[in-house]
A and B are shown apart, each in its own frame.
Chain A
Amino acid sequence: MAQLSAGVRRARREAQRSVRIQGRASGLLGDCRRAFHAFGELDELAENLRILSLNAELAAGRAGEMGRAVRALTQYTRELVNRLAQIQGEMFGLRVKTYALSSDVLRELLQLHLFERAADLVAANSASSKSAGIVADRAFAQVMRRMVDTLDSLADSVEAVARRAQAIEEVVSQSDSIATNIAIEASSAGVHEKEFRTVSDTMRRYVDDLRQMIDEASDAVRRALEKGDSLRRIGLENLHELQAKRILGE
């Protein structure tokens, strides 16, 4: 009994490889959540921008010839809104995929931890056969390999989020130019100046909100990619280590 308890203590102490991985994976999944959370208000902003473009078009109509340029700018704004809606749809799909992959990672982590504990307990029991330890290590390696594959898919998913963030950044930059151009048009719009300036200021506020959204998301995406890469390296190191022990028989 005393020997078993010592074995158990040792196993608990040694089952830290998966605990370390678990800590980093929690950080990775947290960053993924943070990235999607940052984009949480994208639909509301896109809708606000759409309404603003409609109101601007009405104001441009009221301004007649003086509002011609603004009318053209608002039509262009609507195209940007459509682009945002498209990105938003893609983001939804990516969020579903990322959360599904995250849940796979969590399940694999739990299995890694249990196999690691099993392998350590087998090693602590002198009566266990050598092949028993190999079986547990092999199962650990199989789950680790699967997790590395899942992390690869997760990294692809996060990179796709990064590409969408870049696309939003382009929309932001173009919206910013439109806001500037409307402000320029406002200065020569006479009695319509106030109305156009309000449109320009409001648009700039939305642009600032979008920019803040991108900053937060980009930070989370960058951290997620770094952590994913680091986790993948740990996974591969573990696999190489097990391969060196000829556990994998490759």
Chain B
Amino acid sequence: MKCVSLYNQGSHRWLAFGQDPAKPDAVIDTVQYVVCAQGGAMLLDPGGMEVFPPMLASITQEIAIEDVSGIFLSHQDPDVGSSLPLWRRVCNPETKIYVSALWTGFIAHFDREAVFTAIPDEGMEISLGSDVRLKLVPAHYLHSPGNFHVYDAKAKILFSGDMGAALVPPGAASGMFVENFASHIPYMEGFHRRWMSSNRARDAWVAAVSKLDIEMMAPQHGLVFKGDDVPRFLEWISGLDLGSGVAAMAR
């Protein structure tokens, strides 16, 4: 599994893990992120159970597993956190698990013994070390009804879950970053039209994240947007008509 450093300033780091060449084709490609600061580390959407073995092997090349102090799940999907019971076995028992208050009872189906820190609808902040604060930004209905993204004001990185996700065919990307926004659109368009159902929620999200100072937007699938590609994405998604599945019901 590839590991790319998105940000590295002293102990404050953002790492992206993905594009595992050994991943079975039937398993959707995911990107897992780790934010570290001052001896603490937060896993963002640690992935499905199939991803756990290579992810554990990769992450332990970068950080000590004992440093993991938190696990954040953007929403309830199996590719986001079905590995939770496995992570809980290798991490400290004190490791906190953050998930929308809406989903705690549902995610317990993956792990009945997990104790969750329920994120309220309006979001919350989490401290990582003494000077890094992660803001959990509401992104409800994009695509899950209880959905959050993570913003790190110091690193200027937004972890955007399924927003900005792309289904990139194997071999089509040479790295972890979007290199040509226009040619990246075909990998994103169908996904967003179908998986994102609410234009109203999208507008509210775009309005909220436009106020943030973002240098990188890191989705859970596909490639990371950086620099001007971030506002390009916001502009593109603002004009997209979402909820394409509704048409099938009208037929």
Contact = CB atoms under 8 A, between A and B. Distances in A.
A7 to B, nearest CB: 8
B21 A139 contact: no
A139 B60 contact: no
Nearest to A5: B21
B170 interface: no
B65 interface: yes
A135 B90 contact: yes
Interface string A88-104: 00000000000000000
11 contacts: A5-B21, A5-B22, A8-B21, A11-B53, A118-B53, A122-B60, A125-B61, A129-B64, A131-B66, A132-B61, A142-B89
A66 interface: no
A115 interface: yes
Contacts, number: 69
A114 B49 contact: yes
Given A5-B22, A11-B53, A121-B54, A135 B85 contact: no
A132 B85 contact: no
Contact of A115 (B1, B58, B89): B89
> Chain B's interface: helix, strand, loop or mixed, by majority?
helix
Contact of A111 (B56, B64, B65, B86): B86
A8 B2 CA distance: 13
B53 A143 contact: no
Given A118-B56, A125-B58, 6 more contacts: A4-B22, A111-B89, A114-B86, A118-B52, A121-B54, A122-B57
Given A5-B21, A114-B49, A128-B61, A121 B89 contact: no
A197 interface: no
Interface residues of A, number: 28
Contacts of A1: 21
A111 B110 CA distance: 12
Contact of B49 (A4, A110, A121, A138): A110
B92 to A, nearest CB: 11
Nearest to B51: A114
Contacts of A115: 53, 86, 89
Contacts of B66: 131
B22 A135 contact: no
A239 interface: no
A136 interface: yes
Contact of A4 (B21, B52, B56, B85): B21
Nearest to B88: A139
A8 B20 CA distance: 10
A4 B22 CA distance: 9
Nearest to B54: A121
A129 B85 CA distance: 23
Contacts of B60: 122, 128-129, 131-132, 135
A36 B53 CA distance: 36
A116 B89 CA distance: 13
Contact of A121 (B21, B57, B85): B57
B15 to A, nearest CB: 14
A201 B164 CA distance: 77
Contacts of B54: 8, 118, 121
A183 B80 CA distance: 71
- Which are the 7 A-B pairs with shortest beta-carbon distances? A132-B60, A121-B57, A117-B53, A118-B53, A8-B22, A139-B89, A118-B56
A127 B61 contact: yes
Interface in A124-158: 124-125, 127-129, 131-132, 135-136, 138-139, 142-143
Contacts of A136: 56, 90
Contacts of A122: 56-57, 60
Nearest to B1: A4
Given A114-B49, A129-B64, A131-B64, A143 B57 contact: no
Interface string B34-78: 000000000000000100111011101100111000000000000
Contacts of B21: 1, 4-5, 8
A202 B49 CA distance: 56
A125 B57 contact: yes
Interface in A154-179: none
A122 B52 CA distance: 12
A5 B21 CA distance: 8
Contacts of A110: 49
B25 to A, nearest CB: 15
